[in-house]
Structures are given as structure tokens and as C-alpha cells.
Amino acid sequence: MNDFNDLVDAEHTRVVAPDYATAVRILQERFGSDWTVVHSRKVRRPGILGWIGLSDVVVIVRTQKSSNDILTTPIQLDAAIEEKIPVLAGDFSSEETESRTPDLEVSNPEPLVSLSSIHVSEAPAMTSTMDTEEVVGMDAEMTNPVDSLSGSEVFASADQNNDVSFEASVEQGSNTHQQPSTDSVPLSTEVNEQEGFNPPASVKEQGTVNLESFNSLSARLEGSKQRIAEELKAFNSASPFYRAPDPWQTASEATTESNSDVVGIASFSEETVAEKSVFDDPVFLGKVSTILERCGFSANACRDIKNAVSSANVPENLDEAALDNLIENRIGACVMGRIPQAGGISLANTAGKTRFVALVGPTGVGKTTTLAKLAAYFHVVEKKKVGLITLDSYRLGAIEQLRRFADIIGLNFKTVDQAEKVREEIESFSKYDIVFIDTAGRSQKDVDRLKEVRDCLSNVNDLEIHLCLSLGAAPEALMATADAFRIVGYDHVILTKRDESYSKGFLWDLFGVMQKPISYVTCGQEVPEDFDAASREEIRDMILGVE
């Protein structure tokens, strides 16, 4: 058995973020690709935020190589042990700032290391409710900072009372940014004094939320969220890690498609919102939440979708079926707006040139199988002259696997085992319509190997690179892979193993990380039939579980 006490050391870091994508981004910014997820789970936000359905993800990563390198798969952690791992938090503390109390000042605002390009002023205060309710065992650590944890901590927060506002710091071996709260701080006594946040009496006195207080709180949180979103945007664009969205993303967001909804997403205009907002209709919101939870959307995605679908009027006197239909249409339109371009390879405008298509990705995601499916399709259905090349001389049997397939359907097949020979082998395919290139699987964490793949493929002109991502993989691994393979420079994404996957709400976050068109979706082991050219409608239905 693993001794989980080994985790309580400087090699491990805990990230709390509203969703996996944010957690991955924070980790990438702090550690590059040098980290391994050992545990992740969803936690309900403390206090009122939890009551209204907000949650965070907690991800524990190992950040340095260790000799007792035994924790390569997710594990169950004892809560007491988990909480001893230093937390790495990012610029996501939106709602938490709502309940920040004026007297929550840091005991030591001096940052030891500053993140480049981020203005470092003073460390942000954390919310009392967060500290005392969610973080089990944190009280003791906070009252006695001398007994603080080893390891590194990074945090950044929005100061919503100022225009500027993002502060970040990295601390080593200290927990001093935490509020030295001495006991559980009940919402009723603390947040009462917070400017701009006065919970109704029922909340303060009884700790329960009636409909009126819920509505009032929801409206305040909505206003707060928008402010935080603006600050996040300003922060992101100033960050050295900021990447401008690709044209597909802005294009798809700008041209959200209309649908047959009674009030389609296309009509979600400022005027409609001003006329009447249905945001405070608990039946409507409850139905929306039920669908979003069933599809497995992250907390972040849920917030965005809820805001979008509830920002327009709903006709009165709808019967239940009509309301359900309207909600499904709105969610569908909203999800559609997030899906990148989709479509398979087209050889329509190649003007006699050979098209080279390389499949890259981690090990075992289905690159070779998908390549065989595509080669068979273009050869048999499209009647094109198809060639096959493999650069995978690494995996035992990989060459034989593809050679046998090429023999069976009669394709020209070559193996290239040295990067410098790629160019000359490629030239021998100059009379072909399309040539598929198989590559060795590479871990998203092995930057050197990823660079090898990139260098090898840089010898090929007119090349398009398709990254294979298995829908059956853990969401955090998918995000990390989509991000890490940017080194290789992929142009399209193939989603594999749909048949092995469950809820796919995580794709909302993945689309934000990968920012590339989707070319194919594969759905089984059978060659050649188990794949489809991707379509945005089918991806939407897949995400919403409409089969």
C-alpha cells in the first residue's frame, strides 16, 4: 500500500480552482509541464455559495520528480493529509471576494517571489468562510503561522474595490497570506459589515435562505461576477501567458446560430434583458441546473451557460413541455456557440498537390487505428491515391501493424526511422493525393520528445497535423495534453474513443484550451467504419447527451 504521508512534503501542491481548465492553466503558468496529477475532486463552495450550487475542483499535483515515484494514477486521499498540502490558487476568486471582510488583512504582505509581469502589491485576503468552512484543519494552521507548511504557494486575487486590482505572490515555506482567523466566522456577524454585501436578515439570523433572499443574493452575485469577469479579462490580456483566441473562436462566438427556440439565443440582446430578466425564476434555473449537472459541465461552464440562457425573456404561461423545450434549445444554442469549426479533410482545392496529414498524440489514444480508418476511407470511398508513412519505430510491433494493413488494402507504405530521412522519403510520394503519417505516442509531459516530433514533422511541406485526444481520458489530462501539444503545433483535433466516454461537459473547457477545429470523432475499434467527420451539431448533441 502507498504511504500517503509521503505526500506531505515540498513536492506536492494543491490547486483549488473553479474548473479543471483554470487549474491546468495555473499549474502551467507556475510549473510549465513539470507536474503530475495525483488526485482531483470536486468540492462544494462553503456557505451560501455552496447552497446555490457553486463548486470548485481541488487538484493535487506532484511538482518535482521523486525517488519514491509511485503515485502515477489518481488516488483517494485522507482529507487530513490532503489539507496539509500547500495550496496553489489562481485568479478565480470571483464570488469569494463577495464575502471578504474588511478586517481580513494579511499578516505578512511581503511576497518572496513575484510572478513576472504581474503587479505585486500586497497579498490578498482570503474569505473567512472559505478558510473556516472548506479547509478542514486550516484554523489551527492560521492561528499558528509558525507551524505553517513547507512547499510553495501561489495565489492571485481580484481586489474588486479598485480598478486595477490583481495581485499575486509566491511564498516559500510560509502560510502567512491566510487570514489568522481564530475561529469559525459565521456569515451573519462578518459579512454584514462588508460594503456592498448585506445578506437578508433570514440569512444572518437563521443561516437559511428563503426565496426572496436567494433572489437578492443571486442578483448581487451576478453583478459581482460581471465585474470579476472584466477584471479577469484585463488581467489575462496583461499576462505573459495570454494567448489571443484563434479566428475560429471569435468567429463562432460572434455568429451564434439561431434556432427554433421560442426566444432563440440570437435574440439575447441588451434590450431583452432590460425588458425582463428571468434570472430569478427558481423553476427555470432549477431545470437549467439539472441539465447542466447531468452533462457534467464544470462550475465555470455552468455559470456561463446559466447567465446566457437566463438573460432573455421567457413568454408567460408556457406549459411544462414548452418550457423544457425552450430551455433545451437555449442550452443547445449556447453550447453550439462554444464549439469550434468542425469537418473532415477536404481534398477539393488541393490543385494537384500532395496533402500530408500527420496524426500526433499521447500513447494509446488511437492514432494508428484512426489513421488506418482514414486511409481506407480515402482509398476506397474517395478513390484517392493514398500513401502511408510511419515515424513510429519506437513501439514494438507498430510498424508491422500498419504494414499488414497497407498490404491488405494495397497501399504504398514506408517506414522512416531517422528524422533527416523524412524529406527524401516524402519526395517519393509526390504523385499521391494524400499521405498519412503515423507518429509515436508521446507523453504530454515529455517536452523533449514533443520537440522531437515537431522537428521531425518540420521536414514536411503542405502538412496538416491532427492531435488525437481520447474522450475516455480524465478531463485534466485532456486539458494538459491539448496545451502541451501546442509545442508540436497541431492544426486540428480528432476526438477518439467516444464509445468509451461518459458525460462530456468537460469539452466546454477543453475547447477553451485547444482552440482548434475538430476534424473527426471515432467511436470504436473497427476499421474502417468506426469514425465520422465531425459536425458541430453532432458534437453539441454528444455534449448534451442527445444520442
Ligand X SMILES: Nc1nc2c(ncn2[C@@H]2O[C@H](COP(=O)(O)OP(=O)(O)O)[C@@H](O)[C@H]2O)c(=O)[nH]1
* Residues making contact with Mg ion (CB under 5 A): 367-368
Q: Is 125 helix (H, G, I), strand (E, B) or coil?
A: coil
Q: How far is CA 451 from CA 287, 437, 488, 491, 542, in A?
A: 47, 17, 6, 16, 33
Min. distance of Cβ 487 from Mg ion in angstroms?
Answer: 19
Task: Report if residue 364 touches ligand X, rule: CB under 6 A.
Answer: yes
The single residue listed with the C-alpha cell 508521446 is 442
Please pick, from the candidates 287, 367, 466, 540, the single residue that binds ligand X as defined by CB under 6 A: 367
Contacted by 528, from Mg ion, ligand X, none: CB < 5 to 8 Å by type: none
Which one, of 124, 197, 111, lies nearest residue 152 by Cα?
111
Q: Which is nearer to ligand X, 323 or 399 (CB)?
A: 399
Q: How far is CA 53 from CA 83, 312, 543, in A?
A: 23, 22, 21
Which residues share a beta bridge with 168? 156
Min. distance of Cβ 439 from ligand X in angstroms?
Answer: 9
Binding mask 120-159 for ligand X (x = CB under 6 A): ----------------------------------------
Task: Report if residue 497 touches ligand X, rule: CB under 6 A.
Answer: yes
Min. distance of Cβ 224 from Mg ion in angstroms?
Answer: 49
Contacted by 366, from ligand X, Mg ion, none: CB < 5 to 8 Å by type: ligand X
Contacted by 181, from ligand X, Mg ion, none: CB < 5 to 8 Å by type: none
* # residues near ligand X by CB under 6 A: 18
- Long-range CB pairs of 264-267, under 8 A, 24+ apart, other chains included: 264/329, 264/330, 264/333, 265/308, 265/309, 265/312, 265/329, 265/330, 265/333, 265/334, 265/337, 266/333, 267/312
The upper half-sphere exposure of residue 341, i.e. CA atoms within 13 Å in the direction of its Cβ, equals: 14
Min. distance of Cβ 470 from Mg ion in angstroms?
Answer: 13
Q: Give residue 411's identity as a one-letter amino acid code.
A: L
Q: Give residue 39's identity as a one-letter amino acid code.
A: H
Find the residue with minimal CB distance to ligand X.
366
Count H helices and E strands in the chain, helices first.
20, 14
Report phi then psi at 522, rounded to 5. Answer: -105, 150
Min. distance of Cβ 278 from ligand X in angstroms?
Answer: 41
Min. distance of Cβ 391 from ligand X in angstroms?
Answer: 12
Which one, of 363, 360, 365, lies nearest residue 390 by Cα?
360
Q: Which is nearer to ligand X, 365 or 374 (CB)?
A: 365
Task: Report if residue 368 touches ligand X, rule: CB under 6 A.
Answer: yes
Residue 317 neighbours by CB distance under 10 Å: 5
Which one, of 468, 259, 269, lies nearest residue 373 by Cα?
468
CA distance 455 to 447: 12
CA distance 61 to 9: 12
Task: Report if residue 358 touches ligand X, rule: CB under 6 A.
Answer: no
Distance of CA 15 to the CA centre of its chain: 14
Please pick, from the candidates 26, 389, 523, 544, the single residue that binds ligand X as defined by CB under 6 A: 523
Stretch that binds ligand X, among 88-96, 218-226, 291-299, 495-503 (CB under 6 A): 495-503
Contacted by 497, from Mg ion, ligand X, none: CB < 5 to 8 Å by type: ligand X
Contacted by 264, from Mg ion, ligand X, none: CB < 5 to 8 Å by type: none
Contacted by 176, from Mg ion, ligand X, none: CB < 5 to 8 Å by type: none
Please pick, from the candidates 13, 175, 311, 522, the single residue that binds ligand X as defined by CB under 6 A: 522
Stretch that binds ligand X, among 200-208, 304-312, 413-421, 494-502 (CB under 6 A): 494-502
Min. distance of Cβ 390 from Mg ion in angstroms?
Answer: 8
Q: Are 473 and 393 in contact (CB under 8 A)?
A: no
Please pick, from the candidates 18, 47, 332, 441, the single residue that binds ligand X as defined by CB under 6 A: 441
Which one, of 272, 261, 450, lies nearest residue 363 by Cα?
450
Please pick, from the candidates 308, 309, 530, 534, the single residue that binds ligand X as defined by CB under 6 A: 530
Contacted by 524, from ligand X, Mg ion, none: CB < 5 to 8 Å by type: ligand X
Q: Which is nearer to ligand X, 285 or 495 (CB)?
A: 495
Element (H, E) at 148: none
Please pick, from the candidates 292, 339, 365, 457, the single residue that binds ligand X as defined by CB under 6 A: 365
Instruction: Give the footprint of ligand X on this chain (CB under 6 A).
Output: 361, 363-369, 441, 496-497, 499-500, 522-525, 530
